[in-house]
């Protein structure tokens, strides 16, 4: 008997559009001989919506069409119900005035806050329904760049030095702003990177070369998050590694990104496409194995399940390896780095999506009391 998969797309974060791009690839990759698919969109205001059209029609849409559909608040509102007397545990029911759908597993193709940060994972836990990807703890810790760095520091893995800045402290007064800027300049030489602590896809990131760019970069990052970090610049190659599995994870062949701009920014990731990719990355056997080993160790330390993409720096002169960040629901278009790394390792996009669904079911069974 076919299992019913709920694919959740969109979301309230700054990565709403990225989710729509990823979700179309996922929808087209799910094996419909094995699974039934129910797509549901979350608007930027947080409303859950059924799509009016059948999934076969939806899969042929562009991400812009999905964006406009959700922006216009089209479709019937979705209500959720579970665990009534007539429904077994692990069964979710979606309904509206004209529809009712039984769901066996949730595939949250959501990036950033309200999707990748433990919130929808917590909802699934409360509803007692299987889902794809990391659990509440791993999702929330990995989403927060500061917290993930603190976990990784316990493993003895090198990472860039960083300074934490909180909005309520920074904006307390003009004098406090200036003092914080001076503290950063005393600690680091330019250039520096400024990042929101809880966002992905390079949204809100600035590479600042002077005080003016630092001030603008801080303002931009604080428009996305109340907690940001300023990182030292490392003259390094950007290397990524995909991790797949639950309690016995495996690492993909690493890949290298050669940015077209000064760093691999949001526009280049999803729109311009001018950066170059080397898959597998040209690394020594020792470097490759060290990155794969460190990736698996970080995955386990964070208590991740399902998938993660872990980003590293390899310093150009010394070859030293630094942890950069972890993403528990990385970009998932067919040309995104995570699936491309697994493709180079011997796992097709379709097989990867199927494996993630099965890992979600396996995790649910393993954690049932």
- Give tens-digit pLDDT for 205-237: 999 999 999 999 999 999 988 999 999 999 999
- Same domain, residue pair 190 and 125: no
- Same domain, residue pair 14 and 97: yes
- Same domain, residue pair 58 and 87: yes
Q: Check which CATH number belongs to the domain holding 179 and give it.
A: 3.30.1490.20
- Domain edge (last residue) among 180, 197, 232: 232
Q: Check which CATH number belongs to the domain holding 354 and give it.
A: 3.30.470.20
| 261 pLDDT more than 90 | no
- Same domain, residue pair 112 and 198: no
- Same domain, residue pair 69 and 92: yes
* pLDDT of res. 273: 58
Per-residue pLDDT of 85-132, as tens digits, reads 555 555 788 988 889 999 999 999 999 889 999 999 999 999 999 999
Q: Are 44 and 144 in contact (CB under 8 A)?
A: no
In a domain, 222, yes or no: yes
- Same domain, residue pair 196 and 254: no
- Same domain, residue pair 146 and 247: yes
In a domain, 136, yes or no: no
In a domain, 171, yes or no: yes
Query: Residue 62 class from Cβ within 10 Å (0-12 exposed, 13-18 middle, 19+ buried)?
Result: exposed
In a domain, 239, yes or no: yes
Split into its structural domains, the chain has a count of: 3
| pTM across the whole model | 0.90
- Same domain, residue pair 348 and 218: no
What is the domain extent for residue 206?
162-232
Q: Check which CATH number belongs to the domain holding 31 and give it.
A: 3.40.50.20
Per-residue pLDDT of 289-306, as tens digits, reads 999 999 999 999 999 999
In a domain, 273, yes or no: yes
- Domain edge (last residue) among 202, 232, 262: 232
Of 50-54, 59-63, 261-265, 362-366, where does mean pLDDT reach its minimum? Answer: 261-265
- Domain edge (last residue) among 199, 232, 265: 232
In a domain, 211, yes or no: yes
In a domain, 112, yes or no: yes
- Same domain, residue pair 204 and 288: no
- Same domain, residue pair 153 and 280: yes
- Same domain, residue pair 217 and 250: no
In a domain, 137, yes or no: no
- Same domain, residue pair 14 and 62: yes
In sequence order, what are the residues at sequence separation of 6 or more whose Cβ sits closer than 8 angstroms to the Cβ of residue 195?
A: 145, 204, 205, 221, 228, 229, 230, 231
Task: Using pLDDT thresholds of 50, 70 and 90, give the confidence band for residue 267.
Answer: low
Task: Report, as an integer, the average pLDDT of 303-320.
Answer: 96
| 201 pLDDT more than 60 | no
């Amino acid at each position: 008997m076919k299992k019913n998969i709920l694919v959740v797309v969109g979301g309230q974060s700054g990565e709403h559009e990225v989710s729509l791009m990823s979700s179309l690839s996922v929808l087209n990759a799910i094996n419909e001989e094995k699974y039934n698919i129910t797509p549901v969109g979350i608007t930027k205001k947080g409303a859950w919506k059924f799509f009016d059209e059948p999934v076969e029609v939806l899969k042929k849409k562009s991400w812009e069409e999905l964006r406009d559909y959700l922006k216009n608040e089209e479709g019937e509102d979705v209500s959720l119900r579970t665990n009534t007397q007539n429904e077994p545990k692990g069964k979710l029911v979606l309904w509206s005035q004209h529809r009712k759908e039984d769901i066996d597993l949730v595939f949250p193709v959501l990036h950033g806050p309200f999707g990748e940060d433990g919130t929808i994972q917590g909802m699934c836990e409360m509803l007692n329904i299987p889902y794809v990807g990391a659990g509440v703890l791993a999702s929330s810790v990995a989403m927060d760049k500061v917290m993930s760095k603190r976990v990784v520091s316990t493993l003895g893995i090198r990472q860039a030095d960083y300074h934490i800045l909180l909005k309520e402290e920074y904006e307390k007064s003009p004098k406090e702003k200036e003092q914080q800027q001076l503290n950063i300049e005393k600690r680091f030489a330019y250039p520096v990177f400024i990042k929101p602590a809880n966002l992905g896809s390079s949204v809100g990131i600035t590479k600042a070369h002077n005080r003016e760019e630092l001030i603008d970069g801080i303002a931009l990052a604080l428009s996305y998050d109340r907690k940001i970090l300023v990182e030292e610049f490392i003259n390094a190659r950007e290397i990524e590694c995909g991790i797949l599995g639950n309690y016995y994870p495996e690492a993909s062949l690493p890949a290298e990104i050669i940015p077209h701009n000064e760093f691999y920014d949001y526009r280049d990731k999803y729109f311009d496409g001018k950066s170059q990719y080397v898959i597998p990355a040209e690394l020594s056997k020792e470097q490759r194995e060290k990155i794969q080993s460190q990736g698996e160790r970080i995955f386990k330390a964070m208590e991740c399940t399902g998938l993660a993409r872990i980003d590293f720096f390899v310093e150009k002169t010394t070859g030293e390896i630094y942890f950069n960040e972890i993403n528990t629901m990385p970009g998932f278009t067919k040309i995104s780095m995570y699936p491309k790394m697994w493709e180079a390792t011997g796992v097709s996009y379709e097989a990867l999506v199927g494996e993630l669904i099965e890992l979600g079911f396996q995790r649910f069974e393993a954690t049932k009391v």
